[in-house]
Structure 1
Amino acid sequence: MDRLATLDLFVRIVDRGSFTAAAASCGVSRPVATATIKALESRLGVRLLQRSTRHVRPTVEGAAYYRRCIAILADLEDADRSVAGGVSGVLRVDVVGYLARTILLPALPDFLARHPALTVHLGEGERFVDLVREGVDCVVRAGMLTDSDMVARPLGVMEEATVASPEYLAQHGIPSTPEDLEGHQMIGFVSSRTGHPLPLEFTHGDKVIEVALPARLLVSGADTSVTAARMGFGLIQAPRYRFADDLREGTLIEVLADFPPTPTPFSVLYPSNKQLSPRVRIFIDWLVEIIKL
């Protein structure tokens, strides 16, 4: 391997915590990766990586070398872009599925036309993603963010609504206030962080009211919760844009509109310990441009 390829391999090993995963991403075998790093450590005269049976971590010297390497590789990518006139390579993004289908995909042809040498790998999910370990450049997520290892760029807030099917409301009644919810059921949306269903949330002036209703059905996917609401399993709360067609067609009905849930923040996240690459930078700028929530 030449020196730049060796730096790239070293960065990927630190990012993924694995010789095997890094070697595969570079298109080389595990023995080649091991020999390359041994040669690098021998040339530098220091140990860069602490190896164990389960994980690979940088030493103090390795961590310092890693920071310099990612800066060098980012500068090289910037240099290539300035000469080639645009970004290239693969941009790996993970987005909540409904956002991907309703907001990103319709606008994506224009983004790709602007950057013809760029390929977008669009993953769909709502689970926590280890960006560095899984090789994902950034994620687009809704909700409160607590992960200090990530940089979050706010994109806006989404208005939420409480809805249920006409059949459900015909059976259980239409509540006028949160106090009228006795005897109602919710579809329990299980938090990926806590493993427990989230309570319904209502605002009244400056006051926030949480109501945990009985739930015969627990789900962990937003699309499943909407489908279940259409089928009459109970009340749900989610960003209003998810229900636009249902509310217009009458397959779902909004209730307690005078007591709306608090708006949900919407952000793009990327690792704080890595220099922002040109690919991620132009993607974030594009998101800010197209998202009008």
Structure 2
Amino acid sequence: MKILVLGSGAGGGYPQWNCNCAMCSGVRSGRLHARARTQSSIAVSQDGEHWVLFNASPDIGHQLRSSPTLHPRRAPRDTPIKAVVLMDAQIDHVTGLLSLREGPPIELYCTPAVFEELTTGLPLLPVLQHYCGVHWHLLPVAGERASAEFRIDALPGLSLHALAIAGKAPPYSPHRNDPQAGDNIALLIEERATGRCAFYAPGLAGVGDAERSWMQRADCVLVDGTFWTDDEMIEHGLGRHTAADMGHLPQSGEGGMIAALDGLPARRKLLIHINNSNPILDDHGEQRAMLQRHGIEVAHDGMEIEL
């Protein structure tokens, strides 16, 4: 199984276009040793020829142009991207669908909650029907059903398991403060021939028993790296909401993501979806050194992972 990190930043990327915080101004001036990052998305392949996108960020055009593996190669109009799986209906994870409108019909995998959001509150799917069209594949995580196994034709040797996780519906959702199963999912992607697994959850409000048991199975864990502290946005004058308010588990503190990752048997533990305010973006910073002591990596655009 091959995993390609297309984008590793949170909404707005890094540096964010309108942000002059210490982290953004530092990378622009060269004061910080840090990489620019686009908004988070990954691509997965079994054979290196057929790929599936997991989320489609607003930066998808740049990400595809920057990834030779995903360039057309067999016909005047062609793409190795065969499907898209959505983890949620957040703007930074779905609006890239519009940039795929010149291609074939989009084979889209998402939960009923996400499908509803994208046909009503943010009606991307009705718009796309006037261009390439969309074929919806139901991920039946809803109501009392908290998990579901599914397959994707383009990845015949992989089994995928969707798990409802704690989090927030998008700010535009009528049930933003009334969570429903399927608003947010994590995925366990398993290669059946080898048993190797990757756990992917770019938005994760907490690590409960179900999440922990799935993470225990994974050889590679790619999880929410949005914030270092719960009050990060407030402390730096960038917003009024805590990490918890926005549905993210910060890395530091008792019960934080570092503590959740400690003790897992995974040979690779990575943070993705990193906000522009997070000090782990500084390659030479104290927080990055702390992550390294815990065996935790920070994902970056263009990173390739093979299991």
How high is the TM-score relative to the length of structure 1? 0.25
In our comparison, the structure showing a higher alpha carbon Rg is: 1
Higher relative helix content:
1
Q: TM-score, normalised by structure 2?
A: 0.24
